[in-house]
Amino acid sequence: MEIKVPELLALPPKMMPLITDFNKYRFFLAEGGRGSAKTQSFGRLILTIAEKNKVRVVCGRETQSTIEESVYKVLVDLIKEYELNFSILKNKITHNQSGSEIVFKGFREQGSVNIKGLEGVDILWIDEAEAITKQTLDIVIPTIRKPNSRIFFSMNRKLINDPVYEFCLGNDKCLHININYYDNPYCSQELKDEAERCKLSSERDYRHIWLGEPLDQSDDLLFSAADIARMKTIQPFGDGFNQIRVIGIDFAAQGGDFCVATILDKKSPVHWKCEAQIAWNDTDPMVSIGKIVNIIGEYKPDYSILDCGGMGYVVYSRLRELGIRIDKFDGATTQGVPNEYANARAFGYYTLYHYLHNGWIIMDSPETEKDLAQIRYEYKSNGERIIQSKDKMRKNGIHSPDRADSLMMAVYCIKTRLADNAIIDDVRTTNTIKKVNKSRWQI
């Protein structure tokens, strides 16, 4: 006999075992790439259960600074879309009839795992479970011990030996579902087109972001040794090419970091050669203002760009007051940044990646090469690419990549200010199921 499934539970067919086999398992892992409806499926299931049963649900992450980093918005959007009888509070969600409660928690606080608030939990849902460490997993799982309690994991695995994946693999108490965007009939055409653009741009990114394939342990390095080595390859140039000069300036406000100016000259329709790279170590903005005025006066660039993060904005503003023609680089902005990238810094570094990969940058600088070899990329939960922050690099004992940042800004200036087209742009209801035995919880 077949029964109707409410529209709220219109899950992709591959995710339907979450419903049909719910009482056969204690653990549930949904893993795969972007657009596969993993998060949506768990969110819909949890809201359905919370409507019909009084349950306590914790939505957990390894770290959570604000509730916006959690699945709170996913649940709120579903509640509003289907006009469900929940009260949406600032830090939790409650059902007005069943009394169910959904709260949000980061496990790791001040370097240690905090399990406070996990007692008496009926459902623990860990989204972005690829960020969970083995230490956290080993502490959290035994804490969820209420009879008939369940633990949900949704993830796009980064590492081959991911602790959550290894815990679930071969575990007869775990329902393991691998799903990707082409398995999701509700995946929008816009997302499908984005996947194809990503595939044309980078097979490596496509296989991880959209197919959910893990990265090799060293694959989070953005630049390969071959990419970096290409900078030393001297290319033939024709005579009479109209030279264009660009300067990218990274301002350092912290002791130990360097301010760096990279001067690039256009030598062919696609090639840019580093004419000079000038570094100084002084955190006084007034010193840097004088230094930059002298550099621009000596090298007379057609375009220049300056990092305006933090105290860099003070330097930028003063240079503009002095009549210096210079643009600002805001690495955190998303304005004008393609959807594939989390911010301008990520877009800038991926632009530099294409230039190096195609051999369009000519430069001989061991210090810059060392910086480039330490640039790592990551992915946000929505598939956006992001470059590992300087703060995170410092915590891992890696010095600030000031020379690489300066080179990146110069190339970003070429791409955005000169409208340079040489770079290869990123070519970017009701279901039915078979009736099953009555669940201990109603779904």
pLDDT digit string (tens) for 281-311?
887 899 999 999 999 999 999 999 999 988 8
**Does 288 lie in the same domain as 407?**
yes
Indicate the burial class of 365 (C-beta count within 10 angstroms; 0-12, 13-18, 19 or more). middle
The answer to whether residues 408 and 356 touch, using CB atoms and an 8 Å cutoff, is no
Q: ∠ CA 430-49-29 to the nearest 5 degrees?
A: 85
pLDDT digit string (tens) for 377-407?
888 877 788 998 888 887 766 788 999 999 9
Q: How many domains are there within the chain?
A: 2
**What CATH number did the domain enclosing 400 receive?**
3.30.420.240
- Structural domain that includes position 348: 225-417
- From 188, 211, 234, the end of a domain falls on 211
**Does 229 lie in the same domain as 206?**
no
Chain-centroid distance, C-alpha 423: 23
**Does 233 lie in the same domain as 205?**
no
- From 164, 180, 211, the end of a domain falls on 211
Q: Which long-range contacts (CB under 8 A, 24 or more apart) does 201-206 make?
A: 201/340, 201/424, 201/425, 201/426, 201/427, 201/428, 202/426, 205/385
pLDDT digit string (tens) for 25-66?
999 999 999 999 999 999 999 999 999 999 999 999 888 877
**Does 191 lie in the same domain as 240?**
no
**Does 345 lie in the same domain as 201?**
no
What is the distance between the alpha carbons of residues 164 and 134, in angstroms, rounded to a whole number?
8
**Does 164 lie in the same domain as 298?**
no
**Does 11 lie in the same domain as 49?**
yes
Mean pLDDT, rounded, for 72-80 = 95
Query: For residue 28, what are the β-bridge partners?
Result: 152, 175
Residue 99, pLDDT > 90, answer yes
**Does 371 lie in the same domain as 230?**
yes
Q: Strand 432-434 to strand 2-4: parallel, antiparallel, or no bridges (unpaired)? A: antiparallel
Residue 432, pLDDT > 50, answer no
Per-residue CA distances from 27 to 154, 319, 382 (Å): 11, 59, 24
Tell me the pTM: 0.58
- From 145, 177, 211, the end of a domain falls on 211
Closest CA to 59 of 69, 51, 70: 70
**What CATH number did the domain enclosing 33 receive?**
3.40.50.300
Q: Would 436 be classed as within a structural domain?
A: no
Q: Would 443 be classed as within a structural domain?
A: no
Indicate the burial class of 55 (C-beta count within 10 angstroms; 0-12, 13-18, 19 or more). buried
pLDDT digit string (tens) for 152-203?
999 998 877 789 998 998 899 999 999 999 999 999 999 999 999 999 988 8
Q: Strand 112-113 to strand 108-109: parallel, antiparallel, or no bridges (unpaired)? A: antiparallel
Q: Would 423 be classed as within a structural domain?
A: no
Q: Would 219 be classed as within a structural domain?
A: no
**Does 302 lie in the same domain as 206?**
no
**Does 243 lie in the same domain as 162?**
no
